[in-house]
Amino acid sequence: MLVEDDSNDVALTQRAFARAQFANPLQVVTDGEQAIAYLAGESSYADRQRYPLPILILLDLKLPRKSGFDVLGWIRGVPKVRRLPVVVLTSSQQSPDINRAYDAGANSYLVKPVAFESLLALVQTLGLYWIMTNQGPGVVDPGASIV
Amino acid sequence: MEFWRSLTRRARAGSAMRTVLLLVVAFILVIVAAALSYRSSTDVQKAEAGVKTAFQIRREAQVVLILVTDAETGQRGYLLTGDAVYLTPYEQAIITLPDSLQRLRNLTSDSPEQKRRVGELNILLDQKLTELRATVVAKRTAGVDAALRIVHTGEGQALMDRIRNVVGGIIDVESQRLAQGQVVLVRATRQASYFTIGALILAIGVTTVATVMMIASVRGRERQRAAQVEQKTREETDRRIAAIVENSDDAIIGKDLNGIITSWNRGAERIFGYRAEEAIGQPITIIIPPERLDEEDAVLGRLRSGERTDHFETVRWTKHGRPVDISLTVSPIRNDGTVVGASTIARDVTERKRAELDLKRLNETLEERVAERTRQLAEINTELDAFGYTVSHDLRAPLRAMDGFAKALAEDYGEQLGTRGQDFARRIVAAAERMDLLIQDLLAYSRLSREDLRPQPVSLGDVAREALDGLAGDLRERGATIDIVDPLGRVLAHRPTLQHVVTNLLSNAIKFVAPDSAPRVRIWSESRGSTERLWVQDNGIGIDPRYHANVFRVFERLHGAEMYPGTGIGRAIVRRGTERMGGRVGVESKPGEGARFWIELPASRVKNGS
């Protein structure tokens, strides 16, 4: 699942995912509130068939309504989703942001590269590591979808 | 003082008078002495004349006697022999005797007694000559017997005896006179010389005294003149001091021990508003506020014991009741050691007081203002942080879009775009990449300014090698040769910042080389006492000395971006980073001869840990 408000970034990330040729679908939400609603399975996201729980969350920090930190804090506080790996993918290279993200429970912190090739490489590495290599936590919801 | 002066003046006038008097006395004495010696010499002359006359009378009288005797002798010879030759003395006597008698008469004219004797002698001589003639005639006419008869009468003999007696009387008197005259002469001569010598001695003595007195008087007058000059100078000085006192900006006030004002200068008039004629004679308390009257008592008390009051700051009143801040200095005025009053110098310090008060207020509000300023600065810092966040986060998002979509365009629609379209897409991508670099460097630079850099011992060798590792791709691409002159020193620095600085230094060193030539970089360090200097020498295009001051500025690019790509922030990071760690940077270079950049940091004496 990608939590990203910038439609350009969304499009480019989707393109990178497409180019990386992952089998898993990529769910996209565009702000913090939506992310929480999705993960909580609230209202429009109640249908877990259509909106399954992700196996990896790519989280931007600067989001409308609720920030990435809010979302991260919420995730780590809700038993059903708290083990989900969260990779922060943001533009900020500020060290306070980085430390804060780890403190809030981020599993990784990545800076969005400007060059598309770099983004592609990053997405490929991500998939290789988090989806193919990494041994994920126990699935809380048996009907969960990947990403 | 005045008394003494008049006394000496009078004494001096007296001495002049005495001098004149003495000179007059000396003059009179000389005249008297002259008169006396004149008289004495007249006496001497007179005595001399008397003596001379006596001698002449005596000689004439003897001559007369000899003549008569000779005449008688001749007569006797003639009578005896009848020879006429014997008559010569007789005839001679007849001719000469009247002349001698006449001379005697003249010489004895002033002595009646002698005159009488001369008259008697005259008669006796006539009679004798007559007797002689009678015998001679008798011999010649009547023969010798007739003549002898006359002789035998004895008349001639008697006459002769009487003549002898008279002449003897004359001679006796004259001898007596001669003896007396000689005594007088000796006495008069001695007297005359005594008078002359005495008068001379007196005159010399008096003149000497007068001269001495005159010299003393002249000296005295000179001294007096010198004293007058001195007095004049003193008066001039007094006048000048008076002028200074009068024209002083400070109030200069004299008062006696009872606090009564005795003098009041123009400064006092200006500060306190009272004119001199209003203030003099008034108590000093006219300018003292009632609540400060005890101050004056204290000042007067100290004054009586001869103590000064220095720069005492207080408040006084003007004539119109306006308070004035003043600084008081009160010094005692002494007369022969006794304190008789005081001179007060009062300086108007209102302006200074106001300035002091302002300063105090400023100081009091300083902390407040510092706090305010700190708050503002913190605010600005927060804003800067927010700006940095915005730059790093938001500005880069559009770049990603530019880059990504330009590439997507080229990939997906390359054929439709054609060569020109693909070139445009490439340019968009290149611009985005450049912009990204710029933003990253700017962020790094602004972070350098704000981050707290805690220095720790760092090995320059480690830092340089790590930096070269980071630049490995570039080095390979450019075929650069790097020569590290080990060992490199150790410095006190913030490791990540130093890493950043050295990386930029090395990246620049390999960047600015002439086309077609491979970069050669030499790295060494130099110990300079308390600091360590890291040198990085390249074989690049060099930098003209007139640009040396500019090379460390932000965005200062000396070369076109086409030829030597870069953001122009690298060397600014070198300087800012080094300076933030308490170091310095510099460059030595000439165009075409490469450049030698150096950074200097505090040396570390610690051998382990970094």
Can you spell out the DSSP letters for B142-180? H-HHHHHHHHHT-HHHHHHHHHHHHHHHHHHHHHHHHHH
Which tokens is B502 given?
């050295």
How far B496 CA lies from chain A's nearest CA (Å)?
13
The complex's ipTM?
0.72
CB contact under 8 A, A112 and B399: no
- Stretch (H or E) spanning B53: helix B2-81
pTM above 0.80, yes or no: no
- How far apart (Å, rounded) are the C-alpha atoms in residues A35 and A58? 11
CB of B188 closer than 8 Å to CB of B50:
no
CB contact under 8 A, A114 and B398: no
A114 interfaces chain B, CB cutoff of 8 Å: yes
Predicted local distance difference test score (pLDDT) of residue B508: 84
- How far apart (Å, rounded) are the C-alpha atoms in residues A34 and A88? 17
How far B459 CA lies from chain A's nearest CA (Å)?
25
Is the pLDDT at B396 greater than 90, yes or no?
A: no
**Distance between first and last Cα of chain B:** 92
Burial of B95 (0-12, 13-18, 19+ CB in 10 A): exposed
Distances (CA, A) of B202 to B31, B35, B209, B215: 12, 15, 11, 20
CB of B262 closer than 8 Å to CB of B254:
yes
CB of B506 closer than 8 Å to CB of B467:
yes
Mean pLDDT value across chain B: 83
Nearest one of B579, B580, B575 to B550, comparing CA atoms = B575
Q: Which of B397, B404, B432 sits opposite A91 (nearest CB)?
A: B397
Cα B246-B247-B252 angle, rounded to 5 deg: 55
Q: Which residue of B has its CA nearest to A90?
A: B393
| DSSP assigned state of A131 | I
Span B542-563, pLDDT tens digits: 777 777 777 777 666 555 555 5
Predicted local distance difference test score (pLDDT) of residue A129: 86
Nearest one of A97, A113, A64, A93 to B391, comparing CA atoms = A93
Predicted local distance difference test score (pLDDT) of residue B608: 46
Predicted local distance difference test score (pLDDT) of residue A73: 92
Predicted local distance difference test score (pLDDT) of residue B559: 59
Confidence of residue A109 (pLDDT cuts 50, 70, 90): very high
Span A48-105, pLDDT tens digits: 888 888 888 999 988 888 888 999 999 999 888 888 899 999 877 777 788 889 999 8
CB-CB neighbours of B173 under 10 Å: 19
CB of B91 closer than 8 Å to CB of B114:
no
**Distance between first and last Cα of chain A:** 5
CB of A53 closer than 8 Å to CB of A145:
yes
- Stretch (H or E) spanning B333: strand B323-335
- How far apart (Å, rounded) are the C-alpha atoms in residues B102 and B517? 172
Predicted local distance difference test score (pLDDT) of residue B44: 79
B398: cis peptide before it, omega within 30°? Answer: no
Confidence of residue B223 (pLDDT cuts 50, 70, 90): very high
CB of B293 closer than 8 Å to CB of B278:
no
- How far apart (Å, rounded) are the C-alpha atoms in residues A139 and A84? 9
How far B392 CA lies from chain A's nearest CA (Å)?
5
A14 interfaces chain B, CB cutoff of 8 Å: no
Which amino acid would we find at residue A123?
A: V
Give the CATH class of B456-602. alpha beta
Which is it for the CA torsion B36, B42, B45, B49, positive or negative?
negative
Is the pLDDT at B610 greater than 50, yes or no?
A: no
CB contact under 8 A, B397 and A93: no
Predicted local distance difference test score (pLDDT) of residue B166: 87
CB contact under 8 A, B433 and A113: no
Can you spell out the DSSP letters for A3-33? E---HHHHHHHHHHHHHHT-SS---EE-SHH
- Residues B350-367 have a mean pLDDT of 86
Span B31-41, pLDDT tens digits: 887 787 788 77
DSSP bridge partners of B106: none
More confident residue, B558 or B221: B221
Contacts of residue A91, defined as CB under 8 A and 6 or more positions apart, other chains included, come to A62, A111, A112, B392, B393, B394, B396, B397
Is the pLDDT at B229 greater than 90, yes or no?
A: yes
Span B152-200, pLDDT tens digits: 888 888 888 888 888 888 888 888 888 888 888 888 788 778 877 877 7
Which tokens is B93 given?
């006597």
Which amino acid would we find at residue B506?
A: L
Span B290-314, pLDDT tens digits: 888 888 888 888 888 888 888 888 8
Predicted local distance difference test score (pLDDT) of residue A57: 92
CB contact under 8 A, A112 and B396: yes
Distances (CA, A) of B412 to A8, B189, B415, B416: 17, 175, 8, 9
Please name the residue that has the structure tokens 């930029």: B504
**At B120, is the secondary structure helix, strand, or coil?**
helix
Is the pLDDT at B12 greater than 80, yes or no?
A: no
Phi-psi region of B535 (alpha: psi -120 to 50; beta: other; left: phi over 0): beta
CB-CB neighbours of B233 under 10 Å: 10
B496 interfaces chain A, CB cutoff of 8 Å: no
Domain positions in chain B: 2-193, 250-348, 376-447, 456-602
Give the CATH class of B2-193. mainly alpha
Predicted local distance difference test score (pLDDT) of residue A75: 92
- How far apart (Å, rounded) are the C-alpha atoms in residues B470 and B92? 184
B426 interfaces chain A, CB cutoff of 8 Å: no
Q: Which of these ranges, B194-208, B235-249, B325-339, has the smallest mean pLDDT?
A: B194-208
Span B57-69, pLDDT tens digits: 888 888 888 888 8
A82 interfaces chain B, CB cutoff of 8 Å: no
Contacts 24+ apart (CB under 8 A), B324-327: B324/B271, B324/B272, B324/B348, B324/B350, B325/B349, B325/B350, B325/B352, B325/B353, B326/B251, B326/B271
Radius of gyration from C-alpha coordinates of chain B: 74
- How far apart (Å, rounded) are the C-alpha atoms in residues B58 and B64? 10
A112 interfaces chain B, CB cutoff of 8 Å: yes
In total, the C-beta contacts within 8 angstroms joining chain A to chain B are 63
| DSSP assigned state of B484 | E
CB of B528 closer than 8 Å to CB of B600:
yes
Is the pLDDT at B232 greater than 90, yes or no?
A: yes
CB of A73 closer than 8 Å to CB of A17:
no
B394 interfaces chain A, CB cutoff of 8 Å: yes
Which is it for the CA torsion B596, B602, B607, B610, positive or negative?
negative
CB of B326 closer than 8 Å to CB of B303:
no
CB contact under 8 A, B400 and A90: no
Span B467-497, pLDDT tens digits: 888 888 888 888 888 888 888 888 988 888 8
Span A24-43, pLDDT tens digits: 788 899 888 889 989 888 88
- Stretch (H or E) spanning B535: strand B531-537
- How far apart (Å, rounded) are the C-alpha atoms in residues B202 and B36? 14
- How far apart (Å, rounded) are the C-alpha atoms in residues B156 and B135? 10
Can you spell out the DSSP letters for B172-210? HHHHHHHHHHHHHHHHHHHHHHHHHHHHHHHHHHHHHHH
CB contact under 8 A, B401 and A90: no
Distances (CA, A) of B117 to B57, B92, B120, B173, B363: 12, 24, 5, 11, 147
Span B309-324, pLDDT tens digits: 888 888 898 888 888 8
Quote the percentage of chain B above a pLDDT of 70: 92
Predicted local distance difference test score (pLDDT) of residue B393: 67
- Residues B433-444 have a mean pLDDT of 80
Domain B250-348 in CATH 3.30.450.20: yes
